[in-house]
Structures are given as structure tokens and as C-alpha cells.
């Protein structure tokens, strides 16, 4: 029994420390562990973009969309937005065609024009081969470079970095600004392949659909470096380098919708969620104490530890809280109580069968274990499916719900069991008959 009491003391101290951590970090406006609030709670702007995948091979669209998401995340982070959320989804348009979309949530940004400018300034970089055809009679054949170009598959998706340098040949004796591009490993291989197979041809460099340089391939270029020698000023070259380092878009995007969420609605949602959580916890704790007496008190303490642990986890990960996420947290409290009910009912049956209190606790937990395990497992599977297939709102609910189910599993199986074993005696006589009873009668015949 001593080791159980030592564990209980440690658990209580840990619970108090977690509760203090949650309170102190939330009270400090400068703490990096404050709750991260989603757009629906903090207010801000939501932008919905359509990604143009028409020039992207089918097998590469998933990777291109992931790269696009990463680029936009870097861009809006540099814009100074607190905790931006960038997500991708596939949606059916009115025409019945599936569209790839990018959803950008910018909490705290109420200036829609500035918000739109953040991702929109990022350029789309492409390398295309000039198409050449023979013209005139066979005896007088000539070649003409047409205006169209052939895509090579080499885009800003493969760009690792860009830097500014100055080369020779500038007007008025000034060094000409050049932009040096460094591709990643995949881009370097693709660039070397293109230049080795098309020596003597024109490889045009397009920025946002406009050709900025049309160099001729002199030889195969290994190492993954390319130089843009467009007709631009030093200021334009510097801006180009800055924008490319922010991340060139691997595919073009078009703004489909923008909307602003006021902070007043978010404050109301937070207030309603907190009230619902507090009222729900108090009612559940009172019911458990009234019906299960001493085990109910232990369940209420374990539930408080569970909430402190969950809130600390949400802060540390951090999980971006939305209104649906708060709902998931509140529902997971019910799962924690459900596990305790199973344990206490099994323990009560053993007490009525003549077992001693400590023996009844051991047997009750072992017999309740299969139902607790299966119940929690099915909830976790359901949460994973919701997170995998759901929209952003559903994913917020599913993530917090799964974390809550895992935490409630630990709370019910570990804390409640150890707390009971640290308190209940070997024999349940006298007042223990009442304390270990439930409802309106004692469990002991």
C-alpha cells in the first residue's frame, strides 16, 4: 500500500504543477505556451485559392500540392501572421470537376487586401523550351523560333535558394545584375538532363507566365545551378531574389473567396465553450460523488488531473484550438467518466460477491479492462477516420477528441486504480461499507 500512496502523492503534485503551468502561461501575454486559437475563435481572414494543376502530370499532383502548401506557409510566416494555418483539400466544383484548393487562415488579420497580398506576391517560376519548326521549300528550308514554349517540368518547386550577383556586359560600364538559382537534388538532376538533351536550343525562364530571360543552352550543366540574366535593374533583381527565397509557387493559384471573421464572434464562442466545460465538469463530478461516494470522489480528482494534463498537452504541442476542438475536449470528458463507471460497477459486483475491498478493486479493474480497451480503441479509430477524411473543421474536432480519449484511458486505468488501492483497506467494515457503496445501498450483503 505504501508504494501506491507514494505514487498518489507524486500524481497529485504533478497535477498541481500542470494546473499551475496552464494558468500561469495563459495569464502571461508574452508566453509562447498560450493557447493557439483558430480563426473562428481569434478572428481574422480566410482565403480560399484554386490550384491550377492543368500543366502538372497526374502522378505529381499530390507532391506539387504539398510543395505549394509549404511555400505559402513560409510566405505568410514572413508576412508576420501569428499562427497561420494553411491546408489543402479537394472539392467538387459546380461543373462536377474535382478542384485542388488551398485554404489559408490568418488569425488576427482583418485587412483582407493585405492578407491577399501575402501569398499573392510569390512568383511562379518555370523553365520552358522554345519550339522550332522548318519553314519554306525543302531546298530553301529555314528554322523559325515560335512564340510557344514546351514545358520541361522544371519549376520553382525544385528551387532550393536564390542569390544576387553581378556579372559583366552591363550598360555604361556597370556590372549587370544576375540572379543565381540553386536547385535541390531532384531539380539538379532534371536540370542536367534538360541541358544535356537540348544543347543549342533556347531554354526560356518564365516568371508568372512572362519570359524574363531566353538563354541558349551551350552545354550540359551539372551541379544544379542556373543564372537568370534578365533585362532588369539591381532593385528588380534584389526583389526577385527575395521573392524567390520566400518560395516560388510550384503551380499557379487563383483566389476564389475571401472572408473576414470578427473577434466578437470568437470571444462569444470561447465564453460559451468555457461555460459548457465548467458546468459539464461540475455536474459530472457531483453525480459521480453522489452515486459512487468515495470512488466518485477519486473519479472527480482523476478527472481534474485529466483536464490539467490535456490542457497542458494542447499548449505544448501546440494544438490550434477551434470551436469544434473545444467540443471534442468536452465530449472526451464523458469517455473518461464512462471508463470509471465500468470499473466501479465491476468492483461493486465483486464486493457483493463477498470479496474484500482491495481484492474487489483488483478483480474489478481486470474485468472492466476488455470493455474499456475496446471502447477506447473504437473511439480512436473513429477519430482517426474523421481526421483523415474530414474537412478542417472536422479535423480540429477529431484531433482533440483522439488526444482526449488517450488521456482518459490513462486517467481511468492508471490514476483511479492507484488512488483506490492507496486508500481502501483489506476489510470493508463499518463506515467503509457506506463509502464503498453506491446509490441507496451498501455493496456488501
Stated pTM of the model: 0.63
364-387 pLDDT, tens digit each: 889 998 988 898 899 999 999 988
CA-nearest of 140, 79, 11, 85 to 392 is 85
Give the residue among 320, 239, 323, 310 at the shortest CA–CA distance from 281. Answer: 310
User: Which pLDDT does position 145 carry in this prediction?
Assistant: 45
Using 50, 70 and 90 to split pLDDT, how confident is the model at 231? confident
Look at 9 and 132; give whichever has higher pLDDT.
Answer: 9
- For residue 192, give the C-alpha cell: 542536367
pLDDT in tens, 306-325: 889 999 999 998 888 888 88
Query: Phi and psi dihedrals of 299, rounded to 5?
Result: -65, -40
Higher pLDDT, 114 or 347: 347
CA-to-CA dists, residue 170 to 165, 174, 182, 228, 293, angstroms = 13, 5, 23, 14, 88
Mean pLDDT of 396-405: 88
Q: Say how far apart CA 53 and CA 59 lie, in whole Å.
A: 11
Per-residue pLDDT at 251: 81
Query: Per-residue pLDDT for 232 more than 80?
Result: no
Class at the top of the CATH hierarchy for domain 44-136+143-259? alpha beta
Contact 26, 254 (CB under 8 A): no
Residue 124 above 80 pLDDT? Answer: no
Domain 2-37+262-435 - what CATH class? mainly alpha
Domains of the chain, by residue range, sit at 2-37+262-435, 44-136+143-259
User: Grid coordinates standing for 293?
Assistant: 461516494
The pLDDT > 90 percentage for the chain reads 12
- Percentage of the chain lying above the pLDDT 70 cut: 84
> Helix (H, G, I), strand (E, B), or coil: what is residue 214?
coil
Q: DSSP for 172-193? A: GGPPEEEEEEEE-HHHHHHHHH
**Residue 171 in this model has a pLDDT that exceeds 50:** no
User: Most confidently modeled of 133-137, 166-170, 331-335, 430-434?
Assistant: 331-335
Q: Which among 342, 339, 319, 316 has a CA at the least distance from the CA of 329?
A: 319
Q: Peptide bond before 231: cis, by omega within 30 degrees of 0? A: no
Residue 404 predicted with pLDDT over 80: yes
234-281 residue pLDDT tens: 887 887 777 667 666 778 888 888 888 776 667 787 888 788 888 888
| pLDDT at position 158 over 60 | yes
Alpha-helix runs per DSSP H in 79-133: 112-120
When pLDDT is cut at 50, 70 and 90, the band that residue 172 belongs to is very low
Q: Could you tell me which residue, 119 or 232, shows the higher pLDDT?
A: 232
Mean pLDDT of 318-340: 82
What's the pLDDT score for residue 192? 92
Average pLDDT over the chain, rounded to an integer: 80
Q: How confident is the model at residue 93 (pLDDT cuts 50, 70, 90)?
A: low
- Residue 144's H or E segment, with its range, is strand 142-155
Contact 25, 31 (CB under 8 A): yes
At 11-64, the pLDDT tens digits run 999 999 999 999 999 999 889 899 888 777 877 888 888 888 887 778 878 878
Give the other-Cβ count within 10 Å of 170's Cβ. 13
Amino acid at each position: 500500500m505504501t508504494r501506491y500512496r507514494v505514487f498518489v502523492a507524486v500524481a497529485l503534485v504533478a497535477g498541481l504543477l500542470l494546473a499551475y503551468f496552464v494558468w500561469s502561461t495563459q495569464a502571461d501575454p508574452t508566453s509562447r505556451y498560450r493557447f493557439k486559437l483558430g480563426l473562428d475563435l481569434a478572428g481574422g481572414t480566410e482565403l480560399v485559392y484554386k490550384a491550377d494543376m492543368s500543366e502538372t502530370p497526374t502522378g505529381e499532383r499530390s507532391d506539387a500540392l504539398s510543395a505549394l502548401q509549404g511555400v505559402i506557409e513560409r510566405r505568410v510566416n514572413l508576412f508576420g501572421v501569428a499562427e497561420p494555418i494553411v491546408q489543402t483539400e479537394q472539392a467538387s466544383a459546380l461543373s462536377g470537376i474535382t478542384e485542388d484548393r488551398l485554404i489559408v487562415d490568418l488569425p488576427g488579420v482583418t485587412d483582407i487586401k493585405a492578407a491577399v497580398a501575402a501569398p499573392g506576391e510569390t512568383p511562379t517560376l518555370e523553365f520552358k523550351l522554345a519550339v522550332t519548326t522548318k519553314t519554306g521549300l525543302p531546298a530553301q528550308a529555314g528554322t523559325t523560333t515560335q512564340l510557344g514554349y514546351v514545358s520541361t517540368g522544371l519549376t520553382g518547386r525544385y528551387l532550393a535558394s536564390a542569390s544576387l550577383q553581378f556579372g559583366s556586359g552591363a550598360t555604361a560600364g556597370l556590372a549587370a545584375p544576375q540572379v543565381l538559382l540553386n536547385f535541390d537534388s531532384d531539380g539538379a538532376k532534371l536540370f542536367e538532363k534538360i541541358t544535356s538533351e537540348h544543347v543549342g536550343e533556347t531554354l526560356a525562364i518564365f516568371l508568372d507566365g512572362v519570359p524574363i530571360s531566353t538563354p541558349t543552352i551551350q552545354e550540359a550543366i551539372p551541379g544544379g545551378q542556373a543564372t537568370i540574366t534578365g533585362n532588369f535593374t539591381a532593385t528588380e533583381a534584389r526583389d526577385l531574389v527575395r521573392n524567390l527565397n520566400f518560395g516560388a509557387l510550384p503551380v499557379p493559384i487563383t483566389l476564389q473567396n475571401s472572408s473576414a471573421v470578427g473577434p466578437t464572434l470568437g470571444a462569444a464562442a470561447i465564453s460559451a465553450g468555457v461555460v459548457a466545460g465548467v458546468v459539464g465538469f461540475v455536474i459530472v463530478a457531483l453525480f459521480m460523488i453522489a452515486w459512487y461516494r468515495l470512488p466518485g470522489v477519486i473519479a472527480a480528482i482523476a478527472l481534474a488531473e485529466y483536464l490539467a494534463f490535456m490542457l497542458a498537452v494542447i499548449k505544448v504541442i501546440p494544438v490550434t484550438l477551434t470551436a469544434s476542438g473545444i467540443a471534442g475536449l468536452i465530449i472526451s470528458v464523458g469517455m473518461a467518466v464512462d471508463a470509471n463507471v465500468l470499473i466501479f460497477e465491476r468492483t461493486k459486483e465483486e464486493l457483493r460477491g463477498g470479496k474484500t475491498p482491495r481484492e474487489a478493486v483488483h478483480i474489478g479493474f481486470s474485468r472492466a479492462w476488455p470493455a474499456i480497451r475496446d471502447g477506447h480503441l473504437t473511439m480512436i479509430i473513429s477519430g482517426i477516420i474523421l481526421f483523415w477524411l474530414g474537412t478542417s473543421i472536422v479535423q480540429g474536432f477529431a484531433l482533440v477528441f483522439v488526444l482526449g480519449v488517450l488521456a482518459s484511458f490513462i486517467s481511468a486505468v492508471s490514476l483511479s486504480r492507484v488512488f483506490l488501492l492507496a486508500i481502501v483497506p483489506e476489510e470493508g467494515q463499518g463506515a467503509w461499507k457506506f463509502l464503498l457503496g453506491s446509490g441507496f445501498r451498501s455493496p456488501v450483503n
